[in-house]
Chain A
Amino acid sequence: MLELFALGDTGWGDEILRGLLVTAELAVATLPVGILLGFLAAYFSLSRVAPLRALGFGYTTIMRGMPEILTLFVVYNGVGMLLNALIQWWNPEAGAVDFSPFAAGVIALGMVFGAFAGEVLRGAFNAIDPGQIEAGRAIGMSNSQVFWRISLPQVWRFALPGLGNLWINLLKDTALVSVIALDDLMRMTKVAVGVTKQPFTFYLLACLIYWALSVLSELVLAAMERRANRGVRRAA
């Protein structure tokens, strides 16, 4: 039984570890994209300019209402077609290019993460005591000083639980990219299943690996929350 999971040519251990590495790379690459989009969405949603607010609301509502897998296909097929059309227009001689599934995964999952993070961050910005912002203005801070010195450090604390949940969702959603042929943990598992004909064993292994990642993330996030909330007075 155990030799199935051995590293090297005899077992599937190394293939599955390689898939796990792709899964981790995808999640880590998507996180900054998602957080950046989240800040943009929150900025638009909280803007005083009505069209910007509508844009922010539209983005978060549409992205949160669509299945993640649909978003992934829209990005993978849509951006791929757009890219090819652009290349054809630029240089009619050039052949068709394949849009990288990894890039499609980062963009699609980043857009989904960004929409949810936008709502998390909007709530966090709203949770800041307005008196502190007024106090900052009163001592003559500029808007950007208020943002960097008062809002942002506290937004982190308010948003951390929500962003933590989104990170775990992101880890799980990376499994979807196996459908557009990226060699992540899920797809390498599928390859192993195809050869060994032991679907239950290998899918259970994949589940256990994802589970371990989630539980590990939860532990790290709990520690981060404790650290972010150090020095905050709590009701007894």
Chain B
Amino acid sequence: MNPIDIITAYWPRLIDGTLMTIRLTLMGAFIAALVSPWLALVRVNAPIAVQAPIRIYVSFMRGTPLLAQLFLIFYGSGQFRPVLEAWGLWTFFRDPFSCALLAFALNSTAYQTEILRGGILGVPQGEIESAKAIGMNPLQILRRVVAPHAYRIAWPALGNEVILLMKASALASIVTVFDLMGRTRQVFSRTFDFSVYLWAALIYLCLTATFVFLWRLFERWMNHELGLAKTPSAAPQAWETRP
């Protein structure tokens, strides 16, 4: 079969897989986005003893392969099956999709926490002192001064993180989730036609490009709303990668 035949014969599967990839990525990134700001705040402000668990968590998540984390959750939960069944959690851990989502959310939370920590530390001290001087209480300072500025600094890095998560979501196919990678492997195992991998690569690249475009658009809109010309400092350096 030639590449055109492959796509005409199997496009519904590939579209289905693409939607699953998008769902996994966005849900994982969103759950992490709900949790990570609080962890980042603790990481910046709390005493060392309170910070320690978060530091260990972040170091573990960044120091181990996502595949190993995924296996630890998906296969590892089987070791505690009776307990999980008793607690009514077994239906969750039996499902590859929910395990993959949990692994991605936990992993992305660690990375987003570090990014937001950098953003919070990047807020100029003078702004916070000014806010105090005009009588804002800590909650107001957080909501009106620290949070908007920290997010603006962190925005490009957060975008990178979502893209890396999308690429990483291909690992879900290994625990039998039919995302784009899973569908691609399925089509390949039926046809032994190599071109399906090239189609998958093209779709992943399109997803990345679209996402980068939308993220920049939102950045520009956000800066416009705030009456600012462009994002301050922390533009990602060429050598910055996910550590």
- What's the interface size class on A, roughly? 35 or more
Q: Please determine whether A186 and B79 come into contact, CB atoms closer than 8 angstroms.
A: no
A211 at the interface (CB under 8 A from B): yes
**Interface residue tally for chain B (C-beta within 8 Å):** 45
Nearest chain A CB to B196's CB is how many angstroms away? Answer: 10
Q: B181 near A69 (CB under 8 angstroms)?
A: yes
Report whether over half of chain A's contact residues are helix, strand or loop; otherwise say mixed.
helix
Asked whether any CB of chain A lies closer than 8 Å to the CB of B151, the reply is no
Q: Which B residues are in CB contact (< 8 Å) with A70?
A: 170, 181, 184, 197, 200-201, 204
User: Closest B-chain residue to A82, C-beta based?
Assistant: B194
- Of all chain A residues, which has the CB nearest B200? A70
Which of B63, B237, B238, B239 contacts A214, CB < 8 Å? Answer: B63
A165 (CB) vs chain B CBs: closest residue:
B243
Quick one: given A68-B167, A169-B242, A199-B76, are A73 and B65 in contact (CB under 8 Å)? no
A172/B79 contact (C-beta < 8 A), A62-B205, A123-B239, A203-B72 known: no
Other-chain residue from B64, B204, B239 in contact with A65 (beta carbon distance below 8 A): B204
B215 within 8 A of A: no
Taking a contact as CB atoms under 8 Å apart, the answer to whether B64 and A207 are in contact is: yes
B80 touches A66 (CB 8 A): no
Q: Is B62 an interface residue (CB 8 A)?
A: yes
Candidates B170, B205, B209, B238; contact of A120 at CB < 8 Å? B238
- Residue contact A67 to B170, C-beta cutoff 8 Å: yes
User: A133: CB under 8 A from chain B?
Assistant: no
Q: Is A88 an interface residue when CB atoms closer than 8 A count as contact?
A: no
Q: A69-B171, A70-B181, A200-B80 are in contact. Are A120 and B241 (CB under 8 A)?
A: yes
